[in-house]
Amino acid sequence: MRFQLVLMGLVGLALAGGAGAWQLSRIGVHQGYGPQQPIAFPHKVHAGDNKIPCLYCHFGARTSRHAGIPPASVCMDCHSILEKQTVEIEKLKETLQQERPIAWVKVHNLPDFVYFNHSQHVLSGVKCQSCHGPVEHMERVQQVSPLTMGWCLQCHREHAKLAVGDFQRAALSLTQKQKPVAGLDCASCHY
């Protein structure tokens, strides 16, 4: 009887320890995080229904570490000529008239010790949806991917295999431009 109680206690302790370890491993993982924004921006309408490319608005992603949030003037490129008006478009116009920035809430956050460069990924052909999920179907953007080190490394391993395969298929032709290989060393992503 005493042995069964001790065994049950150890099993309970192991389960609690496992659950605690799992919870600790999820610290900093914000899957499902989709904060309300100061102006409700429906990516579904813009990127989905109207097929506006991600890089039209987030043009910094081509040349910079940060994709950036477009200035309100980029929004007004279209909204100044469209007849449809909504409360949200009126909020946009008001901020532009008052020359005040929109206090957007960042959705995809990485720890300070992680280096991520959008331009390296965009220029390597990584689609925005690979990390950000099907934004073109979202009314409100939320974090879909875990953005953990293991998740990133898995993608880097897959892209490294593809790049090596492409290189081999090119039969070492010097005229073929070799795709950049995703780094797997610590310094690729950590300062």
Position 130 scores a pLDDT of 96
What is the C-alpha to C-alpha distance for residues 105 and 47, in angstroms, rounded to an integer?
Answer: 19
d(CA 10, CA 6): 6
The CA distance from 61 to 67, in Å, is 4
Q: Which residues of the chain have pLDDT under 50?
A: 21-22, 24-25, 167, 169-176
Give me the pLDDT at residue 174, please: 46
Report pLDDT for 24.
46
185 burial (CB, 10 Å; 0-12 / 13-18 / 19+) is exposed
Q: In the chain, which ranges are continuous DSSP H helix?
A: 2-25, 43, 54-57, 72-79, 87-97, 118-123, 128-132, 149-169
